[in-house]
Amino acid sequence: MYDTPIEISISAAPTASVIWLHGLGADGNDFVPVVKMLNLPDVRFILPHAAYKKVTANNGYEMRAWYDVFGFTPGSREDEAGVRESQAYIESLISKEIARGIPANRIVLAGFSQGGAVALQTALRHNQALAGVLALSTYLPLKTSLAKEKSTKNQHIPIFMAHGTFDNVISLATNHISFEVLQAQHYTIQWHEYPMAHSVIQPEIEDIREFLRTTLH
């Protein structure tokens, strides 16, 4: 169902892992250039590919998707089963990294847009303390279930949230709602806004590098 993830590692013996999820309609190759720009020699980057799904919001067109999308506004119906299926897959990738000798507290989950939603969903519920989570141009899915499902082990996980002020796919207002939910649940968030659309820009990449260096020091 899932293709083999891309792996990038400069070191023959990495001491940390970042599992990085692409956005809707893309694949694991999407963030290969960004990973190379980060130039973090001791980190193994895992870039998985979502399975192909018919996406309702795109007229049922089949594309790589972590879950179905019914709409892009805060009140849109959510594909809970799809979100949880992807969460289970990312959990399996975490387990694989642990089996390869990387402890959970040296693993970061990262994701852009839909991938960022799955990264947040998974990290905040994971039963072992993770190193951090990068949530880029995204939102928090299944908000109403977080309070009862969140893991105490990741209550203090470092969260890097970034969004573009000109994002016309997931609005800044939508992102702020997620930010406020996370704050209400007492998470500590590094918040970043950039003058960009639904994308990633150089100043953001530099901030991501600093976050990863600090988190995985």
Identify whether 140 is part of a domain: yes
Q: How far is CA 162 from CA 97, 153, 214, in A?
A: 26, 23, 17
Number of folded domains in the chain? 1
Residues noted as catalytic: 113, 167, 198
Q: Which of 68-72, 81-85, 107-111 shows the lowest mean pLDDT across its residues? A: 68-72
8-30 confidence digits (pLDDT tens): 998 889 999 999 999 999 999 99
DSSP-assigned beta bridge partners for residue 9: 44
What count of other Cβ atoms lies within 10 Å of the Cβ of residue 85?
A: 16
Dist. CA 191–CA 177, nearest whole Å: 13
Q: What is the pLDDT of residue 196?
A: 97
Identify whether 187 is part of a domain: yes
pLDDT band, very low/low/confident/very high, at 76 (cuts 50, 70, 90) = confident
Cβ–Cβ under 8 Å, residues 106 and 16: yes
pLDDT at 74 over 80: no
Whole-model pTM: value is: 0.97
Identify whether 94 is part of a domain: yes
Identify whether 1 is part of a domain: no
pLDDT band, very low/low/confident/very high, at 168 (cuts 50, 70, 90) = very high
Kindly report the CA angle at 181 between 175 and 185, in degrees rounded to 5?
145
88-112 confidence digits (pLDDT tens): 999 999 999 999 999 999 999 999 9
Q: What is the pLDDT of residue 75?
A: 81
What is the domain range of residue 186?
6-215
| Amino acid found at 183 | Q
Nearest to 36 by CA among 198, 205, 175, 169: 205
CATH number at residue 127: 3.40.50.1820
Identify whether 118 is part of a domain: yes
pLDDT at 72 over 90: no
